[in-house]
Amino acid sequence: MRVALVILHADPRRGGAERYTCDLAAALLQRGHQVSLLAGSFHDAPVGTDTVELPLRGWTRRGRYLAFLDALDHHLERHAYDIVHAMLPVRRCHLYHPHAGIAAAALAGGHEKHGWLARAAARLANRLNARRRAFAAVERALLADPHGPCVLCLSQYVARSARQYHALQPHRIAILYNGVDIRRFDPHRDPAGGRELRRRLGIAPERTVALFLAQDFQRKGLEFAIRALSRLKRHELILLVVGRPDPTAYRRLASRLGLETQVIFAGPAGDPYPCYSAADLFVLPTWHDPCSLVVLEALAMGLPVISTRHNGACELMREGEHGFVLESADDVAGLAERISLLMDPRERARMSRSCLGLRGSLSHEAHVDALEDIYRREAG
């Protein structure tokens, strides 16, 4: 099939949708499809893809986005594809795949903030964000068309949002969870990497490590993970924090709570594998996550997970078997209680075996199989 993948930046260094799009292009090429990447910028595009640069001209992010849409429309008028698969709101496509969730929900949002005042401020900021308003307007026009695209939802959590904000017929919604490279994220591939990371960070082998890995510390609930650690008063427990954001405020919080030696800020990780390998469990008390890839990677590595019902990835977990799902990100007492249960090595080992049993269903191969079925259906 002739497949066009549409994204603003085809750059896996950005993570998230950008990383997914480049990985998908490589997987589709391996399966014999003709793949074009339609983007405003590129970095390390898979060999064999046709890269089509769509200019991002303008003084503002909204202006560059609208210029991108104009260039995309012009390109699609002159080139035919069996499938146009868009990772952001565009004016025409066969599949709309909103990795960050439904744009209309983001515009109305504030759900990812703690406290009514923060939520109100977030809603106001969203309404003042010109590009976010443009995303929502383009999405609204795209999905209002009765002959418009199928919406690829990363979880039932996203599908509920799609139904809430857009009157979509059932055939226009498909659930497609993220997939994991289970060859890369195999706990037996390089266990020495985790041991070396522990040694470098000064974490003794007998300590229990809870891993928190995120690129948005506030939305993903780092404050609550630190506060839960304070409640436990278990000195053998380490919270390993990995991510790019400035940790200064959270370092101060840990210090005020007397956790200077128990909360380790490791900074960003180019390769997250050693972090998973060094950990005993994974915590992500997130306010909003359509389908957290790091949770799926942690499960594939055999790590029991504690997250929230606001994380679509938790739909693939069974409570008490693969970890625990909290009702709210700010349930510090509940988070502390679940971490305490996973301090038992026998309980962790039992759940770890269950997590490893998910590997086949989490695989990127299974994900692409399901996506090809959707492509064939949409191409008619």
Sign, CA torsion 369/321/292/92: positive
Residue 111 has pLDDT above 90, yes or no: no
Sign, CA torsion 288/176/178/335: positive
Question: What pLDDT does 209 receive?
Answer: 98
Q: Which two tokens stand for residue 140?
A: 């609204």
Q: What residues pair up with 31 in beta bridges, in sequence order? A: none
Question: What pLDDT does 112 receive?
Answer: 55
Q: Which two tokens stand for residue 25?
A: 């292009």
pLDDT tens track for 43-73: 999 999 999 999 999 999 999 999 999 999 9
Question: What pLDDT does 167 receive?
Answer: 87
Q: What residues pair up with 51 in beta bridges, in sequence order? A: 37
What's the pTM value of the predicted model, to 2 decimals?
0.90
Question: What pLDDT does 12 receive?
Answer: 87
pLDDT tens track for 268-277: 998 999 999 9
User: Contact at 8 Å (CB) between 173 and 203?
Assistant: no
Selected residue with higher pLDDT from 75 and 113: 75
From the CA atom positions of the chain, what is the Rg in Å? 21
pLDDT tens track for 224-273: 999 999 999 899 999 999 999 999 999 999 999 999 999 999 999 989 99
Query: Mean pLDDT, to the nearest integer, of 7-16?
Result: 88
Question: What pLDDT does 129 receive?
Answer: 79
HSE (CB half, 13 Å, CA atoms) of 172? 17
Residue 220 has pLDDT above 80, yes or no: yes
pLDDT tens track for 336-369: 999 999 999 999 999 999 999 999 999 999 999 9
CA angle 114, 120, 124 (to 5 degrees): 130
CA angle 59, 62, 67 (to 5 degrees): 80
Residue 120 has pLDDT above 90, yes or no: no
pLDDT tens track for 295-325: 999 999 999 999 999 999 999 999 999 999 9
Angle between helices 345-356 and 293-300 (to 10 degrees): 100
Query: Mean pLDDT, to the nearest integer, of 185-199?
Result: 97
Give me the amino acid identity at 327. Answer: E
Question: What pLDDT does 118 receive?
Answer: 60
| CA distances to 9, 41, 160 from 45, in Å | 11, 10, 33
Query: Mean pLDDT, to the nearest integer, of 153-176?
Result: 95
Query: Which of these, 99, 102, 106, lies nearest to 125 by C-alpha position?
Result: 106
HSE (CB half, 13 Å, CA atoms) of 40? 18
User: Contact at 8 Å (CB) between 10 and 37?
Assistant: yes
